Each structure stands twice: as structure tokens, then as C-alpha cells.
Amino acid sequence: MRDFDYIRPATIPDAIAAAAEPGSAYLAGGTNLLDLMKGGITSPERIVDISRLPELNRIERLDDGGLRIGALVRNADLAYDPAFAKSYPAVAEALLSGASAQLRNAATVGGNLLQRTRCSYFYDTASACNRREPGAGCDALDGENRLHAVLGWSDACIATHPSDFCVPLVALDAVVEIEGKKGRRHVTLEEFHRLPGETPQRENALEPGDLIVAVRLPAEAASFSANARYLKVRERTSYAFAVVSAAAALVVDGGKIRAARLALGGVAAKPWRARTAEAVLLGADASEATFANAADAALADASPSGDNAFKIELARRIVVRALISALSGTPERLPALPASPFSNIPGARHDA
């Protein structure tokens, strides 16, 4: 690991001033940053440790019925907060389907949004990667790419965003609260992450020094609590990134869909909000036929970026199944294997 200066500012303005200097990186839980530093994928000259900044580790109900989650709230603390899990069950399920218990105890809300892709060519410094080194090329294009993007990719980059947490968040209209040199601003999570285009190195809306201070959920997000699920296909039962995942949330009245939210994970460089599918669902019968139409709409623009055409059909089926799960109702208690497609089978063993 390259040498770096370590500073631990006492206030948010001090942190922003320090991090605005070139070569700086914020450190919170460190679960992704240290991994990247050990691999030489990123080599900050200055680490700005924000893990003790005051007031960023709170979960607050807002007067307008929304929720404000401090950027330093740990993944496990959020997922196991009973009031949070009751109001936003798909978000809790997504959190608990990600990483391991040890990582969830360290990883933070803000850090989850900022985690880097797990594309193996991004991680391998001997490979060409436009995201790591702009203009270098993309070895994933002709490489092992069965897990790469099927939506929103470009010839410059076909990597996916690895977060589970962000998938239900983007479906529920989450907003990122950012403090920077020019003050505080709000950016919707949908606009926060960027598609690669010709500049895959520009991954999000942050400017130098910008600090995520909170993630907000609007009041309406809790209205889906009775019918909201996250479903995630992995290459092993637990502790693996999504091949494809989906967050589905419905409000159903008299067999008709009164409100619908749908987002996909593992398919693009950002958590993918499927708005055209939501339009198909709205006002339609809550039936499998409707869900299949919605799935077709969600994947209408998908195309393989390599040996991954299977992910398009897989995503369709995951969308349908996530919607069926949401329709059948949020379970009283999260299943033993959160978000697993195997956990609906009573008494079955899923690890053999």
C-alpha cells in the first residue's frame, strides 16, 4: 500500500476542505477503500477519516413523514432497526442479502453508494480499464464478461454497479444529501450514479470535496411496506454479488395496481430504475400476465455486452418473480436467506 497522509477532521467543513485537495479520499468503514488500496487500484495521497464526524450516524424521522439516514449509519444497524425494517422491508432485505455480517457491521450507508464495480478487469491492474485509467481501453469487452452489463453500457465500459442496497432505494425515490464547498444540495439517487458513456471514470455526481451526509426516503416510500421484496440471484447461496437482482414494491387495491416501483441490480453501471415497466403496471390487474408485460418493458432496451445474453432472460424472470413475491405480501419476518430465490421452499436445504 502506498504511503499516505492520514487526517481525522473534527467537523464536516474541515473534512470537505481537506478532501477537496487533489489525491484525497474519504475513509468511513473502509471495507471497499482498503481493498482497493491493497490491490493498487486506487492510491490516495491523503486519507480523510470521517468515521467519527458527529451527527452522521443517526436515523431520523422527518416532519413530512420521510426518513433521513445519516451517511455513517452501518449497514447492519440500519437493516436491524425494527422501525426501519417495518417501513422499508425491501431495503432491509437488500442490505441483509449483501456482503457478510462482518462487512455489514463496518460498511456505511454513504460508502455503499460509492463502492466501486467488481469487474475483474477493473480490479486487475495489469488489464486495460477505462474506468481505472481513462483512455486505456476495456479488456472486459473481449474477456470473461458473462456477468457484465446488459443495460446502459458503452464500448468504453461494460461494468455493473454492485450494490444491493441502492436497488430498492432507487425504486423508492431516495435522495442523496451532499455537502460541498458551495453548501448543501440534494440529488436523486437515480441521477446520482452515471452511465459510462465515453467517461466511465466519472461514476457519480460528486465534485472534489463533496461529502454524502445522508440518504433521504420520501414519505411515500413507506406506503409500499405491505408489498415490497428484493430478490437476488447469486452464483452461491450467500455472500456473493448479484448476477441479477430486482426490487419490487406495489400498492394493490381490489386486484388493481394503484402504485408500483421496480428497479434492477447487476444489470448496469447504476442501480436501474425501470420506469417504463412501472407505467405498464400502474392501473393494471395484479396478475402474472401483467408482470410478464412489465418485465418485457423493463428489458426492452437490453442487449448483451458479451457472453451474457442469458442475463436478459434471467432478469425478465427475476422481475416477474419479484413482483409475484411483492404481491403475495411482505413476510412477517425476513426469510433465513434474505432475497434468495430458494428461500420460499418450506423445509428445503439450499446449501447442498
By the criterion CB under 8 A, which residues form the site for another protein? 1, 3-6, 8, 27, 30-31, 34-35, 38-39, 47, 49, 51, 76, 80, 99-103, 105-106, 237-239, 336-338, 349-351
Name the grid cell of 306.
Answer: 458479451
What is the smallest separation between the CB atom of 88 and another protein, expressed in angstroms? Answer: 18
Short-list 220, 266, 265, 233, CA closest to 247: 265
In the bound state with another protein, the residue whose beta carbon lies nearer, of 3 and 253, is 3
What is the smallest separation between the CB atom of 32 and another protein, expressed in angstroms? Answer: 9
What is the smallest separation between the CB atom of 285 and another protein, expressed in angstroms? Answer: 35
Taken in order 323, 325, 329, 330, is the CA torsion positive or negative? negative
- Could you write out the three-class secondary structure of 42-97? CCCCEEEECCCCCCCCCEEECCCCCEEEECCCEHHHHHCCHHHHHHCHHHHHHHHC
The CA dihedral of 13, 19, 22, 24, to the nearest 10 degrees, is 170
| DSSP-assigned letter for residue 223 | G
In the bound state with another protein, the residue whose beta carbon lies nearer, of 315 and 337, is 337
In the bound state with another protein, the residue whose beta carbon lies nearer, of 147 and 250, is 147
What is the smallest separation between the CB atom of 253 and another protein, expressed in angstroms? Answer: 34
**Residue 46 φ then ψ, to 5°:** -145, 130
In the bound state with another protein, the residue whose beta carbon lies nearer, of 70 and 98, is 98
| Residue 144: Cβ within 10 Å count | 13
In the bound state with another protein, the residue whose beta carbon lies nearer, of 30 and 180, is 30
What is the smallest separation between the CB atom of 182 and another protein, expressed in angstroms? Answer: 28
